[in-house]
Structure 1
Amino acid sequence: MNSNDLKAVVARFNRDVIQDGKRDAFDALMAPDFINWSAPNEALRGAETMWNTFASVLRPAIGTMRVQIHEQLCDGDKVTTRKTISGKHVGTLAGVEATGKEIAIDVIDIVRVRDGRYVEHWGVNTLAAVVAQLGQR
């Protein structure tokens, strides 16, 4: 795959999985041996835990979720993406009840792609800062 193909895989994941919540796209884009190196411990590094973060944590808390990709860089089989996940805070998020405020979580992640599927993920985001700000009301 060339760099444009790799970036397209990551863009599709962000659109179809994170923004639109499509389980079939998630299943199609995740390699069976996927590892999320950003997870807090080894038990949480699998694909299913990543799906649960989107489906059970973010999507119920952020209405009309949008993912805006600001920039993508490719190096070999790794794609680095700088993006913002945004929407209205409509459900409990990390213990903070819905505020109705617009929120924006900035994210930088690196994904290794093999055969059009996610194999590894590393990432940093501003979720903790957003939650702290919401809790201050």
Structure 2
Amino acid sequence: MTDHTHTTPVMATRDGLPAAVAALDRIMREGFMTGDVSVVDDLCAPDLVEHQFGLAGSASQAIEHVKDAIRDVHAMMPDSSVELADWAVRDDTAWCRFVVSGTQTGPFFGPPSGCPVTLTVIDVARVVEGRIVEHWGVPDRFAILAQAGLLQRLAPTT
């Protein structure tokens, strides 16, 4: 069930999404799906606080970690597409559930598998004046490992 409730008025973008949701959607579409890291400078505050495992940091360190993640994800699945499946907003915080699909034709814990991969990404962000100031991300890395056949490679042979 989708609950798009919020406790205070939320500025909407031209496509009808609240500004905080639109910022997360844009970084997924223009950044992760295309590999264009310039969107990070447009959408993330210079004092960004990043909490996502593997990307954690603040200010310029966080910005560089996000750019590296965009490069890595796009290299792993350059044909990926994203769907904004669900979202909710409260005050300056947005919660989004994305579904990402693509083919693992680039490295991810080893060589490319060529396997199709679909995963869920949960993003939570505080967005102030259209810029992401704090972010928590939870990509389903286990789904990538399983669908790309990497778990089978890690299993002991008997």
TM-score, structure 2 as length reference: 0.76
In structure 1, the partner of 2:62 is: 46
User: Distance between the aligned counterparts of 2:56 and 2:79, measured in 1?
Assistant: 32
In structure 2, the partner of 1:115 is: 129
After superposition, the Cα gap between the structure-2 partners of 1:17 and 1:2, relative to the gap in structure 1 and judged at 3 Å, is same
Q: Does 1:98 align with 2:144?
A: no
- The answer to whether the Cα contact below 8 Å between 2:55 and 2:65 also exists between their aligned partners in 1 is no
- Deviation at residue 23 of structure 1 after TM alignment: 2.4
RMSD of aligned alpha carbons: 2.1
- The answer to whether the Cα contact below 8 Å between 1:106 and 1:125 also exists between their aligned partners in 2 is yes
- The answer to whether the Cα contact below 8 Å between 1:83 and 1:108 also exists between their aligned partners in 2 is yes
Choose from 2, 11, 23 the match for 1:2. Answer: 11
Aligned residues: 135
Structure richer in strand, relative to its length: 1
Q: Which runs of 5+ in 2 are unaligned?
A: 1-9, 13-17, 154-158
- Deviation at residue 21 of structure 1 after TM alignment: 2.0
In structure 2, the partner of 1:61 is: 76
Q: Which ranges of 4 or more aligned residues in structure 1 deviate by more than 6 Å? A: none
In structure 1, the partner of 2:39 is: 25
Give CA-to-partner distance per residue, 1:10-66, whole Å, 9 cap, x none. Answer: 2211111111222222211110000111234855861111110111x2111113111
Q: Which runs of 5+ in 1 are unaligned?
A: none
After superposition, the Cα gap between the structure-2 partners of 1:129 and 1:119, relative to the gap in structure 1 and judged at 3 Å, is same
Give CA-to-partner distance per residue, 1:110-132, whole Å, 9 cap, x none. Answer: 01101111111112221134214
Counterpart residue type for residue 128 of structure 2: R
After superposition, the Cα gap between the structure-2 partners of 1:48 and 1:41, relative to the gap in structure 1 and judged at 3 Å, is closer
After superposition, the Cα gap between the structure-2 partners of 1:124 and 1:23, relative to the gap in structure 1 and judged at 3 Å, is closer
Tell me which structure has the larger Cα radius of gyration: 2
User: Distance between the aligned counterparts of 1:42 and 1:83, measured in 2?
Assistant: 20
In structure 2, the partner of 1:86 is: 101
What percentage of residue pairs aligned between the two structures are identical? 26
User: Distance between the aligned counterparts of 1:90 and 1:42, measured in 2?
Assistant: 26
